[in-house]
Structures are given as C-alpha cells and as structure tokens.
Amino acid sequence: MKIAVLSGKGGTGKTLVSVNMAAAARKAVYIDCDVEEPNGHLFFKPTKFEGEDIAIKIPFVNPALCTGCRKCVDFCKFSALAYIGKKLIIFDEVCHSCGGCVLLCPEKALSEKDKKIGEIRKGISENVTVISGFLNPGEASGIPIIKKELSSVAEGEGLTLIDCPPGSACIAMESIRDADYCILVAEPTLFGVHNLGMVYELVNLFHKPHGVVLNKCLEGENPSEQFCIEHHINILGKIPFDHEIGTLNSNALILVREKEKYREIFFPLLLKAVEEVAREKAFNS
C-alpha cells in the first residue's frame, strides 16, 4: 500500500506528516522523493545509510563525423545543443536525456555516455526502512532518481509513505503516479488554501483518492477547512499549532518517538488513510 503525502509548497508539514506516520506504523517504508532538498533522513538518522549512484545518458559528439548540418540543434526542444564556430556544443545541464538527437543524426556523429546526476541511499531506522534521493545541484530533472527510489520497493513490501516534492510540477506527478492514496497537507491561511487548490487539482487530474490533513491549526476560522467542506474533501485529521511540535521538529526529532501524546495524533491519521485505501479497493473491486 502506497500513500503519498504532498503539499502545494515547502514548509507546510508534509515531511512532518509522512515521517511521523511511518514511525507510528508497526513497520513501514519511508521514501523521500523531495530530491532537491531531502531532509527526512535527518529525522530518522538511519544506520548503514548507503548510496547508489544514479546516472542518465547524455550525448557526446565525434567532431570528425559531424558535418554541421544542425539537424540535432533544430530538433532539441530543450536548447541543449548549439553549433557555434564550426563546433557542436552540448549543454549537459539542460539535456533531458531523450536520446532523440543521437537517433536523428544522419552522420552517426552522436553517441551516449553516462552522467551522474545524484544518488539514492537506503538505511534502517527502528521500524522504518528509509530511502532518500539526492539530486546534484544544477541538474535539470530529479525524475530518474524518483523512478529509481519508487522501483526499489518490492511489491508486497507493506505500507509505504512517499514524501513528495512540494508543488504540482512533473516531479510531484511522478511521485504520486503509483500511489494508492494521497494525503494533502494544508495550512490554515489564504496562502494555504491557494497551495491546497494546486495539489487538489493534481490529484484530481490523476484520479487519485485523497484526504486532507490540516496542519498548524489554531482556534477560529480555517480557510483550508472551509475549502475542504465546500469541495466535499475528507478531512483525515488536524494537527494543532503547538510550540513543542515546532521545537521538536526543528531539532529533527520524530514526535511519535518522543511522546505518546503525538502517537495519539499520528496513529489515528495512519489508520484513517489505511481504511480509506481499503474502502477504495473494495469499491473498485
């Protein structure tokens, strides 16, 4: 069972929710797909957190075969190629590894080579298997790393919590692609509603069953809660605005491993999400 946790922007609390739900489970896999700024491992502090390089294919040119026809330059939609001063220049940083230019070159002047763009690391933290992806600074896309992370979990592994990248761009899409259920984390502000609206559109686009966790809740009006009521979105639970949560979280401590009262918040959230998945499966069978 794969549960993706996402939000319209960083700092909303998706790592707080995914880390604590994974830690509250009897056994779980936690995958940090926020590959541009992964931080889940800072909470879990996994042992034997070992790495595997992730590489993509990028083109390189044999100048002796290149006639300067520029067909590859015209073809590349990412402007990763330029022909200047009788020389083909390849901008590795913006190449998206589509391989099209290599196939297209009439002179067979282009070939492919490996380029490391980051790594994934895997380790154990008590009841949780932790998998984190790290994209090197300046790289065009973290999607190859996210694909590798998600495919490294065997079918039937049990509960998997996916900590998605913030926003609704292609890396967030890739992270929820195989999820059975999505949890949207929202703040109780007008900005919070705006960001919730973005990820709400995304999960609807992918026809993913979903529910909302309202974070940093105070007494009084909550525009994100109002949004959920108006759009008939299931509210899985609320996390209070709490000075102690802020302190523990900023010190990279896992709330449910620190105090029982936090397990009483996150374990019911987990149960509700699992029940929702079971209900969806029964409905669709």
Binding interface with ligand SF4 (CB under 6 A): 59, 61, 66-72, 75-76, 78, 80-81, 83, 88, 95-101, 105, 107, 109-110
CB-nearer residue toward ligand SF4: 68 or 268: 68
Task: Compute the Cα dihedral for 7, 210, 276, 1 and give only its sign.
Answer: negative
Radius of gyration of the CA atoms of the chain, in A = 22
Tokens representing 151 are 């495919």
Least distance from C-beta 93 to ligand SF4, angstroms? Answer: 11
Nearer to ligand SF4 by C-beta: 50 or 93?
93
User: CB-wise, 70 or 113, nearer to ligand SF4?
Assistant: 70
- The tally of CA atoms less than 13 A away on the side-chain side of residue 260 is 0
Nearer to ligand SF4, 69 or 278 (CB): 69
φ, ψ at 114 (rounded to 5°): -80, 140
- Both tokens of 98, joined, read 């589509």
Task: Give the nearest distance from C-beta 53 to ligand SF4 in angstroms.
Answer: 20
Nearer to ligand SF4, 58 or 203 (CB): 58
We find the least distance from the C-beta atom of residue 172 to ligand SF4, in angstroms, to be 22
Smallest gap from Cβ 173 to ligand SF4, in A, equals 19
Shortest distance, position 143 Cβ to ligand SF4, whole Å: 13
User: Rounded distance, CA 143 to CA 8, Å?
Assistant: 18
Which of helix, strand or coil describes residue 283? helix
Amino acid making up residue 113: K
Tell the burial category of 237 from Cβ atoms under 10 Å away from its Cβ (0-12, 13-18, 19+).
buried
- Name the minimum Å distance from CB 90 to ligand SF4: 6
Please report how close the Cβ of residue 51 comes to ligand SF4 at its closest, in angstroms.
26
The 10 Å Cβ neighbour count of residue 64 is 7
The beta-strand segments (E) located in the chain are 2-6, 28-32, 47-61, 81-84, 87-90, 110-125, 128-135, 160-163, 181-186, 210-217, 235-240
107/280 with CB nearer ligand SF4: 107
Q: What is the DSSP letter of 142?
A: -
Nearer to ligand SF4, 64 or 282 (CB): 64
Phi–psi pair at 49, nearest 5 degrees: -80, 85
